[in-house]
């Protein structure tokens, strides 16, 4: 089993430069955009945003969840956050689907960039955004994913993070 490659945290910023970018730069732009989409879903009120992307051939699977204080919540449960100052969130199936479609469109750009640059697309990407520090920490791995891993991976990462949050 391969290990994840931890990249240096990067500042979230929206600088649109039309220079000749490398695949890595284009992938980072896509990662930032995907996290921004997830932040908008939670009205930028979560302490942490977690986005999990799996890619196996042309199959893409994306899931996202949040930490509000000491609570880790799946996207459909973010209205259970304890903060009184928060609005209610639109957690309808329609909004979840729209959010996932936007993320998938963005990730398709990374796939096109990989093809253009003749680079392999990571098979798994874990994005962790920390609102307080405004940092994004991507973790990637590149290897073949079997069907069982593909099916259970989103839930497994959620439970791994949940254990860490419970230790806080």
Q: If the chain, 168 residues long, is cut into consecutive pieces of 10 residues, what is the mean pLDDT of each piece?
A: 53 52 95 98 95 92 94 92 73 96 97 94 96 96 79 86 82
Residue 6 is predicted with a pLDDT of: 56
Residue 14 is predicted with a pLDDT of: 44
Residue 144 is predicted with a pLDDT of: 78
Residues 6+ apart with CB under 8 A from 165: 67, 70, 71, 72
Global confidence as pTM: 0.83
The domains of the chain, with CATH numbers, are 20-166 (3.30.500.20)
Beta partners for 118?
Answer: none
Residue 146 is predicted with a pLDDT of: 76
Residue 151 is predicted with a pLDDT of: 73
């Amino acid at each position: 089993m391969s290990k994840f490659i931890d990249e240096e945290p990067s500042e979230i910023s929206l600088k649109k430069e039309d220079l000749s970018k490398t695949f890595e730069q284009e992938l980072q732009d896509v990662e930032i955009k995907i996290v921004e989409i997830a932040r908008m879903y939670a009205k930028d009120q979560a302490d942490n945003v977690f986005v999990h992307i799996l890619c196996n051939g042309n199959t893409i699977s994306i899931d996202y969840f949040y930490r509000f204080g000491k609570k880790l919540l799946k996207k459909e449960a973010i209205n259970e956050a304890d903060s009184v100052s928060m609005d209610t969130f639109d957690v309808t199936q329609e909004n979840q689907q729209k959010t996932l479609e936007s993320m998938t469109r963005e990730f398709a750009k990374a796939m096109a960039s990989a093809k253009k640059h003749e680079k392999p697309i990571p098979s798994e990407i874990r994005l962790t955004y920390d609102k307080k520090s405004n940092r994004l920490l991507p973790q990637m791995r590149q290897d073949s994913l079997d069907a069982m891993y593909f099916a259970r991976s989103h839930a497994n990462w959620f439970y791994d993070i949940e254990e860490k949050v419970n230790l806080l």
